[in-house]
Amino acid sequence: MYTNKSNFKRKLIASAVASCAMSGFAAPTLAQDDQMLEEVVVTGIRASLERSMDIKRDSAGVVDAISSEDIGKFPDTNLAESLQRITGVSINRKNGEGSEITVRGFGPDFNMVTLNGRTMPTGSAYGGSSGAGSATRGGNSRAFDFANLSADSVSGVEVYKTSKASIATGGIGATVNVKTSNPLDEPGLNVSVAGKAIMDTTNRTGDDVTPEVSGIFSWSDDDGMFGVSLSASYSERDSGVTSATVNDWSVAEWGAGDTQTIYDNPANSDIFVNAPEVGQLYSRPNDVRYTFADRTRERTNARLAFQFRPMDSLTASLDYTFAQNDQSAHRGEVTTWVQNGGFVQNVEFDDSAIKTPIFITESYDPARRDVGFSQQYRSQEDTLESTGLNIEWDVTDQFSLVFDAHNSTMESLPTGPGRAGSLDIGVGSSIKSGASWQFSGADIPNWTHTIDGDLEENLSSSVMRVFSVEQTSEVDQFKVDGHWEFDNGSRFDFGIERREMNSNTVSYNGNNNQVLGGWGASAPGEFPDGSFEPFNVAGEFDDPSTGNSPPIGFRADARELGAFLVEEYSDQQAYIGVENTEQDAVRNSASNNEIQEDTDAVYVQFGSVGQLADFEVNVLAGLRYETTDQTSSSETPPLAYYIWSSDNDFTAVSASPDTPTVDGQKYDVLLPSLDFSMNFSDNLIGRASYSQTIARPGLSSLGSVISFGQPNGSTLNAGTTVEATGQNPQLAPLESSNVDVSLEWYYDDASYASVGLFEKRVENFTGSEITEQTFDIRDQTAGPRALAARDALESIGANVDNANLYAMMQILANPSEYPGGASELNDAVVADLNDQAGYEFITPNADDPLMEYEFSTTINNREAKLYGAEFALQHFFGETGFGVQANYTIVRGDVKFDNLDITSDQFALLGLSDTANLVLMYENYGFETRLAYNWRDEYLNQTNWGSNNPGYVEAQSQLDMNISYYFTDNLSVSFEGINMTGEDRREHGRNENMMIFYDDLGARYQLGARYSF
């Protein structure tokens, strides 16, 4: 453990004895001379917090820190969980563990993470960006995922909330430096081994208890010339989650009279109860899904370091870091789709400003609709490797140089069958004759249905999809830093840096639907017996009420189902994989986006100590100049056309790939920084800082291709929009002007209170410019055939909804099968044709019009101001062993999302929320105990979910505990509880009744032991 050494004169013997009793591990050696100094060793929680407090106190600017002892004693699975205890830092969790950080309102892409001062590569592509659930990622990420790192080998973390000229650019919110220890830091032989038994209460199918083991070995010779250290850790965790989601909410403005609604019924229809006023906004859900996932995570970390110090003034260090995180999950769904048109029997709205349905009732009789039981398998491996060389040379007593170079890579690669990140097998049972849903007034929607027959006996495939995303990143960095100290306490720092970053994201199969049994699940009984296990998904929820939702569901291995379907549908060339196989056109397009950023930097900074009005003042002024050469290379097969296969189901078909599109830009920045502090007394410090910082645009915005969305029905009908998105490799970096002022009172050895105010004025936020535009893509949903079908429907008084329109187009195209023409239309025929039972799909003709797109291009057109306050208190109650930490952060912004505006593309600041922490501590008689409460207020998480809706993550809290007991100085045992009260995560749209995601989470417990010698 970290040892903090304090010296006392003999007249303070009583205090020394009390301090020794508090620590429980060390006794003072009493001197015989009043003037002799004596050493008292203070260990444990208090020592680590004192060290963190000293870093904060002695730093220029606003810096918070956590020492290794601090991290080791928190009940945290990784560094992000510890970082959330710092004022202004909040975290996003993935798989129940801390993953990414938000600092002062700036999300993960806008914070720079370094390892021992080295810029680390990033990458996250879990789930192949399938969009099913809140955990999937699509690559093109600048965010560092802390879930990949174990805390065992980390000696400290520093969070720089104000910038300095010597710090690498890229973090507007903060720069977080993760520090590891080296062998010459701890002389002699030091060995520590630890093990934990992990029990996750959410586990269903894995092991109830999984292992975590770690060890640290460090050795240096007696002369302090040679040293070597090795740290390693391995952790397994089996867990589960039960969730609810609505795949999309459509929002529109209510019309008058017989104006068509997004329910494909006229506004004056008597099916609507408590209907909106004319001009009022209202909503329609796409579906309701209850989901489950059974997950396995294996994390391996290792670090090897060598040091050589041939003389006191020269130290060379060579190190290698490895971190690998393997994740896999079996996931399943129970899905009930909300239909439209003539199926809708009743819609009762609530009284929200945006009217949201309380109840929806539908009847399909005599037709039947399917209940969905999709089965998915996800697997991804993230691997970080870093090799670095560092040389520190004290040229003279006053002048020193530091040379540092490293190569670091990050790979986030799919490891499922055929390199799939997510293998999705659509399964349905088409025996549903009616359904009803309740949305408003519940944590999650409830639903009931009427079925005719046995669900399992009628299971059929619908579609098979393979989602796969790979992100690989590499950073090569070289820098030289110089430091000159003057006799008067002033100093001069300078440095040069070269940093080359390459990030390559390849996405496969984004629009590839292999229609097998048909969207209507029209091949009942095709799977072998025993393929599915009945499973009551609704019964898996612990916290939210599922009402009268039926106790149904199935579990299966999507890999086994996929292998069966490949053989069963060999005549359709069904496949699992990402290879670019030709079948009339490109079956599974690969979109390749590569960004290269080469940055050269030089900086100078000057520090001075002086007096002002009898107060000691410290000034650190710096200037950093950077130039960046950015190149974007994108290769994506262009869209050729859409296949229309049922009412709202379309498949995109790509043409052969073109040559890569290459574009880029060069830009430079000049970034000043100024830190000023005044010691009003020995214990009271005031600070003021000003700096300019930058953050580079998101990687996904810097490409040079157009991405096409898919229609959700005929463009003849209200509520159908087709979107296309263009990237922009000419985007400028975000530029922020930052002001901080703070006051810190260090009123005891391990106690302090502080208050700080901050403001950030940011330019060059990105927004969208939306225009109506056409491309060389035909629209069969609005051409002559579609118009003729609409006329035919109107002639017989049938509703012109997507299902009827699609069916009528098929009827008119096949007069030999439907000699009666429009009169042949009935519910059974509509259901049959939309189930695609052996009928040709509808593709464009030459006389169809061009598809009209809402074309969105990313541009620099926004600016915003963020401001807030941070309050912190750390206090130990004398020598009782009791202590408390508390902090509260207020974050505000001047740009908010307007939930009542659906006509414009909106810009809003994401992640802004108040946060609070309260930690109670006790350390005495061999015990070390922490009880930690963390709270985060509601925040805007996204602005473009589904049909351009916002997503608000509701206020959430978490209670963690850690208890350790030391049998000896070397042997300890521990018990940890994480999220002990099982707090959940809920995200909603434009109002609280428009639920998007709900994750029912649980507690995790860890029992461990550690031995050091």
pLDDT for 234-275, tens place per residue?
Answer: 999 999 999 999 999 999 999 999 898 999 999 999 999 999
- Write down the pTM of the prediction: 0.86
Residue 744 pLDDT grade (very low, low, confident, very high; cuts 50, 70, 90): very high
Mean pLDDT for 220-226 is: 94
More confident residue, 910 or 545: 545
What is the full DSSP assignment across 552-612? --EE--HHHHHHHHHHHTGGGT---S----EESEESS-EEEEEEEEEEEEEEEEEEEEEEE
CA angle 770, 771, 775 (to 5 degrees): 120
Q: What pLDDT is recorded for position 38?
A: 38
Sign of CA dihedral 272, 274, 279, 285: negative
Integer CA distances (angstroms), 146 to 38, 68, 230, 322, 785, in order? 42, 16, 21, 14, 54
Residue 918 and residue 910 in contact, taking contact as beta carbons nearer than 8 Å: no
**Cis omega (within 30 of 0) for bond into 366:** yes
pLDDT at 538 over 90: yes
Q: How far apart are CA 91 and CA 113, in angstroms?
A: 14
pLDDT at 101 over 70: yes
Residue 74 pLDDT grade (very low, low, confident, very high; cuts 50, 70, 90): very low
Q: How far apart are CA 934 and CA 915, in angstroms?
A: 8
**Torsion of the alpha carbons at 208, 211, 212 and 214, rounded to the nearest 10:** 170
pLDDT digits (tens, 9 = 90+) for 953-1000: 999 999 999 999 999 988 999 999 999 999 999 999 999 999 999 999
Q: What pLDDT is recorded for position 33?
A: 40
SS3 state of residue 511? coil
pLDDT digits (tens, 9 = 90+) for 828-886: 888 888 876 556 889 999 999 999 998 888 888 888 999 999 999 999 999 999 999 99
Among the residue ranges 82-91, 307-316, 648-657, the one predicted with the least confidence is 648-657
Helix axis angle for 802-813 and 827-834, nearest 10°, is 90
Q: Which two tokens stand for residue 930?
A: 């922490």
Residue 562 and residue 380 in contact, taking contact as beta carbons nearer than 8 Å: no
Mean pLDDT score of the chain: 88
Integer CA distances (angstroms), 285 to 244, 552, 580, 630, in order? 13, 22, 36, 42
Residue 338 and residue 287 in contact, taking contact as beta carbons nearer than 8 Å: yes
In 3D space, the residue among 330, 309, 851 whose CA is nearest the CA of residue 560 turns out to be 330
Mean pLDDT for 529-556 is: 95
Integer CA distances (angstroms), 902 to 250, 770, 891, in order? 10, 13, 26
- Report the length, in residues, of the chain: 1013
Go through the domains of the chain in sequence order and give each one's CATH number. 4-42 (no CATH), 45-253+278-341+368-428+443-448+459-514+588-775+852-1012 (2.40.170.20), 783-840 (no CATH)
What is the residue type of 629?
Answer: D
Residue 755 pLDDT grade (very low, low, confident, very high; cuts 50, 70, 90): very high
Q: What pLDDT is recorded for position 19?
A: 35
What is the residue type of 17?
Answer: V
More confident residue, 394 or 859: 394
pLDDT digits (tens, 9 = 90+) for 454-499: 999 999 999 998 888 899 999 999 999 999 999 888 999 999 999 9
Q: What pLDDT is recorded for position 725?
A: 84
Q: What pLDDT is recorded for position 907?
A: 83
Question: 397 Cβ partners below 8 Å, 6+ apart?
Answer: none
pLDDT at 628 over 60: yes
Q: What pLDDT is recorded for position 927?
A: 94
Q: How far apart are CA 241 and CA 537, in angstroms?
A: 11
Q: Which two tokens stand for residue 289?
A: 């899904």
More confident residue, 109 or 311: 311
Q: Which two tokens stand for residue 457?
A: 């006996």
pLDDT digits (tens, 9 = 90+) for 905-934: 788 888 899 999 999 999 999 999 999 999
Integer CA distances (angstroms), 674 to 96, 244, 438, 671, 735, in order? 40, 49, 57, 10, 17
SS3 state of residue 647? coil
The CB density around residue 895, as the number of other CB atoms within 10 Å, is 16
Residue 414 and residue 505 in contact, taking contact as beta carbons nearer than 8 Å: no
In 3D space, the residue among 802, 803, 824 whose CA is nearest the CA of residue 812 turns out to be 824
Q: How far apart are CA 593 and CA 632, in angstroms?
A: 7
Q: What pLDDT is recorded for position 483?
A: 96
pLDDT at 6 over 50: no
DSSP 8-state secondary structure symbol assigned to residue 12:
G
pLDDT at 676 over 70: yes
Mean pLDDT for 640-657 is: 83
Q: What pLDDT is recorded for position 13?
A: 32
Residue 738 and residue 760 in contact, taking contact as beta carbons nearer than 8 Å: yes
SS3 state of residue 727? coil
Q: What pLDDT is recorded for position 97?
A: 82
Residue 901 and residue 923 in contact, taking contact as beta carbons nearer than 8 Å: no
Q: How far apart are CA 829 and CA 409, in angstroms?
A: 57
Main-chain dihedrals φ then ψ at residue 832, nearest 5 degrees? -65, -45
Beta bridge partner(s), residue 742: 687, 756
Q: How far apart are CA 324 and CA 328, in angstroms?
A: 13
User: Would residue 816 be called left, alpha or beta, if left means φ above 0 and alpha means ψ between -120 and 50 degrees?
Assistant: alpha
Among the residue ranges 145-154, 298-307, 413-422, the one predicted with the least confidence is 145-154
Q: What pLDDT is recorded for position 492?
A: 96
Q: What pLDDT is recorded for position 267?
A: 94
User: Would residue 965 be called left, alpha or beta, if left means φ above 0 and alpha means ψ between -120 and 50 degrees?
Assistant: beta
DSSP 8-state secondary structure symbol assigned to residue 76:
-
What is the full DSSP assignment across 403-433? EEEEEEEEEEEE-SGGG-SEEEEEEEEEEEE
β-strand 314-337 against 287-311: which pairing, if any? antiparallel
SS3 state of residue 532? coil
Mean pLDDT for 333-337 is: 95
Q: How far apart are CA 667 and CA 673, in angstroms?
A: 20
In 3D space, the residue among 985, 974, 884 whose CA is nearest the CA of residue 933 turns out to be 884
Q: What pLDDT is recorded for position 428?
A: 95
Q: What pLDDT is recorded for position 12?
A: 34
In 3D space, the residue among 223, 371, 204 whose CA is nearest the CA of residue 289 turns out to be 371
The CB density around residue 582, as the number of other CB atoms within 10 Å, is 8
Question: 723 Cβ partners below 8 Å, 6+ apart?
Answer: 709, 853, 854, 855, 856
Q: What pLDDT is recorded for position 836?
A: 62
Residue 425 and residue 326 in contact, taking contact as beta carbons nearer than 8 Å: no
In 3D space, the residue among 520, 723, 489 whose CA is nearest the CA of residue 611 turns out to be 489
Integer CA distances (angstroms), 911 to 106, 108, 848, in order? 7, 10, 44
DSSP E strands: which ranges in 700-849? 706-708, 723-726, 734-748, 751-778
pLDDT digits (tens, 9 = 90+) for 581-607: 544 444 566 778 899 999 999 999 999
pLDDT digits (tens, 9 = 90+) for 10-38: 333 333 333 333 333 333 333 334 443 33
pLDDT at 289 over 80: yes
